[in-house]
Amino acid sequence: MHRCLLALTLALAALPAAALEGDPRSSACRQALVALQARESELAASVPDQARPRTAADTRWRSLRAQAARACLGRESDAEPAPLPRSALPPIAVPPTSAPTPVTPPAIARPPLAPPPPAVLSRPAPVLRSCDALGCWTSDGARLPHTGRDPLDPRVRCTLQGRVVVCL
């Protein structure tokens, strides 16, 4: 930052000197332009009416033009403009940025989950109330078919398996 301010200050200080050196309203500028126009008139008079004068090939015209450029502009007309002062610091190299790839944690082998416990019924499970030759009645009023032996025989035992009564 300090170097930039120093370079700017030096450039501003040099402006008035360059302005005095290349003032288009100065007498040196006017004299150089008059001499250049006189040479162009001489060259135009020496060429037939339809042809263009070859001013670029004339060495005297080129020197008068360079003098006029120095007097009016403060520099050579064909010369490149003075380069801007460069910083003494080397350019800063910045690597391209990219989004970091997300790191995924390694997969952890987990044992399979146990099945959920059976749902607790709000009502008690139905029990057999009475049976006949075709089926049985449960405590909740449902009629269930039976399979196996006769449920009315006192030696036969009947159990409820799902929605069927099994008698053995």
* Spans of all domains in the chain: 12-73, 128-167
Rounded Cα distance between 30 and 73, Å, is 12
pLDDT for res 12: 47
Cβ atoms of 67 and 21 within 8 Å: the answer is no
pLDDT for res 35: 92
pTM value > 0.85? no
Mean pLDDT for each consecutive 10-residue tract of the chain (168 residues)? 49 47 72 88 76 73 87 64 61 77 78 79 77 85 85 83 83
Listed residue (127, 124, 159) closest to 142, CA to CA: 127
pLDDT for res 122: 66
